[in-house]
Structures are given as structure tokens and as C-alpha cells.
């Protein structure tokens, strides 16, 4: 749903409807105006140097674009781009790839913010290009699976764990953006880009905890099968009498598994939050969205990017294996793309 087409009152009404009646967050699409600017290459770019952070405020259904220049050594070590909001604002982090045909930028990846507690409650989202498979936890997929059977909703808590489409970036200039996904007000955020070379232990911890979560998902599916078999047992059979005796055992395990899942997800949040230099570094760059001195056009940014040839300045992509996010359709070379560019 494109919230930019609705006024504040209608947007708030829709938000209340989805959250109170359906019980899961409303999935929103990116504003057509933002996609149009990206396709045309008419947006301004804020440089974001590896190892630094930038803070700002972005209006609802608008985006701040950032250019991240990655050296070969940094690309080989791995790259992390994270966004947090101490104000608990709702946002999306976006990753764009340059279109070789029209010179504009296609939206390739997006991650929605989620509420996490790591000492204090914040909203956070990140992209982790670490040369191994990482996963996103799609709360909407999880909620839809849970909604199909509320009595067994617990078993579906990890169904939203989905593999991320891109596991590495090549050297060159890459375009990210922070999109204001709040219903009625501006989004406060801090974005940072870092090289994973100094976070090797953290990267290994992330790989291990997500492996544990994947194994736990398999265990939950098996546990659900046993649970449903218990429910389907007939009262007049010996199987039912055995099932009654096992009910207390299942109840105890149910609570234990729920606690285990909570702990695994909390550990994963803590590991994600460990990818930061904000607390330990004193040379972070902070900027305001109202500052014009740090903004440049796409062409100016390309001209300023050091040591890049034409090929290196185009972000790495495998066009055949990754889906686009334009209203859940691939718009490249389509009539809708042409209309957006008009």
C-alpha cells in the first residue's frame, strides 16, 4: 500500500484498522515519487564514508539517499549498513542498483525497521554483506502464518525467516536510502556504514545464531506435528489415553520452547547491534537533513568518487537472480516504468 496517496486522517485510520483488527503490521510500498526520482537519477546524495555515521530526519514517504564508496579490501572483508532510530520511528532501508539502460537506479533490496531492545528500545534495520547467507525475519510473513491458526500461532514464530538475496558487494559506489515509513510524522534516524574486517567475531556469531534459529524452526515444525497428532487422538482409543498422560509434558515443553525462541531472537538482535562504531569512535560524522552543504547531485557524486572507473562505479548485481520491489513487479522495460519516467 502506498501511503503517500492518503491524507493524515485516512492514513491513521488505516493504521488503526490493521493493527487492532488484523493483529499484524501493515505492509507498505515505496512512494511512487521516490521510485520516479531514483529511475531518473534526479535525487541528491549525501556521502557516507565507511566507518562513519550520519543522523537526520526525513519526512514521511520521502527518502534520503546516501552514497557509499567501497574499496576492494573493504569489499572482500564485508560491508554492513545499519539504520537505527532512538525515537522508535518507522522506516525502511533501501539499496539501489544502477540501470545499465537508462542510467537511473532500480530498487533492489529493502528492509523494514523492527522494534528491538538492547539496553533501550529502538527501531533498527540493517543490510549485511558478509560473504555468507544471512537472513531477514519478515514479521508480516510470520503474522500471516500465525493468523491462519491462532491456537498454534507459537509454532509459526520463525516462519518469516527468509534468506537475503545479496551476500556481497563489489568495490565501487553503492546507493542506499532511508525511507520515512511513519504514518503521520517525520522519521529520526542514524545511518552508519562499516567494514566487517574489525567485526570478524561478530560475523561468526551472527552465522552461528542464525544456524541455531534455522534448526529451531525445524524442531518447531516437528513439535507442531506431534501437537496436532495429540489433538486429533480419539477419546475412545488407547492412543487418546496415552495422549492425556503426555499433555502435561507437552505443556511444559511448549513454555520452554517459547522461552528458547525469545532468547535466540534476543541474541540475534544483540549481535546485529554490535555492528557499530558509534559508541567506540569519536570521529563519527553527523549531519542534519536540512544541511545542504553535504548534499550533491548524482553526477557530482560520481565525479567526486575517488579512483573509480566506469565499471567499478556501478554496484554489483546479478540481475537474473534478484527480484525488484516496484509494487512487487519488475518494472524494467515495462509500460509502467515508461510512465514513471515521463
Cβ atoms of residues 285 and 52 within 8 Å:
yes
**229 in a structural domain:** no
Can you give the pLDDT at residue 5? 52
What does the pLDDT average to over 31-46? 93
* Structural domain includes residue 334: no
Q: b/e for 231-252, b at 16 or more Cβ within 10 A? A: eebeeeeeeeeebeeeeeeeee
Q: pLDDT tens for residues 271-286?
A: 999 999 876 443 344 4
* pLDDT at 95 exceeding the cut of 90: yes
Helix axis angle, 200-232 relative to 238-274, nearest 10°? Answer: 160
DSSP state string for 271-306 = HHHHS--TTT-S------TT--TT-EEHHHHHHHST
Domain of 110, in residue numbers: 3-150+164-197+280-324
Question: Rounded mean pLDDT of the chain?
Answer: 77
How large is the average pLDDT for residues 332-339?
A: 43
Higher pLDDT, 231 or 156: 156
pLDDT tens readout for residues 148-196: 776 667 788 898 899 999 999 999 999 999 999 977 889 999 999 999 9
pLDDT(220) > 80: yes
Contact 341, 102 (CB under 8 A): yes
Summarize the confidence of residues 304-319 as an average pLDDT. 43
Residue 258 has pLDDT above 60, yes or no: yes
Cell of 275: 555492528
**In the chain, alpha helices (H):** 8-17, 32-40, 72-77, 139-147, 200-232, 238-274, 298-304, 335-341
Instruction: Kindly tell me if the per-residue pLDDT of 23 is higher than 80.
Output: no
Tell me what pLDDT residue 184 has.
Answer: 80
Angle, CA 267 vertex, CA 118 and CA 160 arms, to 5°: 105
- What's the domain count of the chain? 1
| 95-120 mean pLDDT | 89
pLDDT for 93:
97
Q: What are 58-71's pLDDT values in tens digits? A: 999 999 999 999 99
> What's residue 281's pLDDT?
42
Band of the pLDDT at 305, cuts 50, 70, 90?
low
Chain segment 129-143, per-residue pLDDT in tens: 999 999 998 877 777
Domain CATH code at residue 72:
2.60.120.380
Residue 265 counted as domain residue: no
75 is a domain residue: yes
What is the sign of the dihedral through the CA atoms of 50, 56, 57 and 58? negative
The residue among 74 and 28 whose pLDDT is bigger is 74
User: Which residue, among 39, 4, 28, has the nearest Cα to 184 in the 3D structure?
Assistant: 4
CA 295/CA 288 separation, integer angstroms:
11
Q: Does residue 298 lie in a domain region?
A: yes
Q: What is the pLDDT of residue 331?
A: 37
Does residue 330 lie in a domain region? no
| Structural domain contains residue 67 | yes
Instruction: Say if 230 falls within a structural domain.
Output: no
* Distance separating alpha carbons of residues 325 and 2, to the nearest angstrom: 13
Amino acid at each position: 500500500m502506498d501511503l503517500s496517496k492518503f491524507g493524515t486522517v485516512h492514513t491513521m485510520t488505516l493504521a488503526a484498522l490493521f493493527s487492532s483488527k488484523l493483529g499484524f503490521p501493515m505492509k507498505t510500498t515505496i512512494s511512487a515519487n521516490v521510485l520516479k526520482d531514483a529511475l531518473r537519477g534526479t535525487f541528491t546524495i549525501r556521502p557516507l564514508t565507511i566507518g562513519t555515521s550520519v543522523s537526520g530526519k526525513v519526512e514521511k514517504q520521502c527518502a534520503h539517499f546516501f552514497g557509499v564508496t567501497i574499496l576492494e579490501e573493504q569489499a572482500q572483508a564485508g560491508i554492513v549498513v545499519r539504520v537505527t532510530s532512538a525515537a522508535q520511528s518507522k522506516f525502511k532501508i533501501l539499496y539501489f542498483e544502477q540501470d545499465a539502460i537508462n542510467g537511473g537506479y532500480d530498487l533492489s533490496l529493502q528492509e523494514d525497521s523492527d522494534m528491538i531492545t538492547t539496553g533501550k528500545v529502538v527501531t533498527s534495520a540493517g543490510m549485511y554483506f558478509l560473504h555468507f547467507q544471512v537472513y531477514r525475519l519478515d514479521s508480516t510473513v510470520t503474522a500471516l502464518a500465525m493468523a491462519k491458526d491462532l491456537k498454534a500461532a507459537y509454532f509459526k514464530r520463525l516462519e518469516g525467516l527468509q534468506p537475503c538475496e545479496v551476500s556481497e558487494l563489489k568495490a565501487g559506489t553503492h546507493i542506499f536510502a532511508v525511507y520515512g515509513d511513519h504514518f503521520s510524522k517525520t522519521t529520526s534516524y542514524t545511518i552508519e556504514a562499516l567494514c566487517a574486517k574489525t567485526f570478524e567475531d561478530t560475523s561468526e556469531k551472527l552465522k552461528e545464531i542464525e544456524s541455531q534459529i534455522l534448526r529451531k524452526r525445524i524442531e518447531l515444525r516437528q513439535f507442531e506435528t506431534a501437537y496436532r497428532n495429540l489433538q486429533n487422538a480419539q477419546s475412545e482409543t488407547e492412543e487418546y489415553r496415552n495422549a492425556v498422560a503426555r499433555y502435561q509434558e507437552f505443556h511444559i515443553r511448549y513454555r520452554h520452547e517459547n522461552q528458547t525462541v525469545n532468547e535466540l531472537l534476543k541474541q540475534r538482535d544483540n549481535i546485529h547491534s554490535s555492528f557499530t562504531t558509534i559508541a567506540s569512535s569519536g570521529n563519527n560524522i553527523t549531519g542534519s537533513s536540512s544541511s545542504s552543504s553535504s548534499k550533491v547531485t548524482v553526477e557530482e557524486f560520481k565525479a567526486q568518487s575517488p579512483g573509480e572507473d566506469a565499471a567499478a562505479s556501478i554496484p554489483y548485481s546479478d540481475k537474473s537472480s534478484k527480484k525488484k520491489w516496484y509494487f512487487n513487479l519488475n518494472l524494467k522495460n515495462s509500460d509502467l516504468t515508461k510512465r514513471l519516467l515521463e
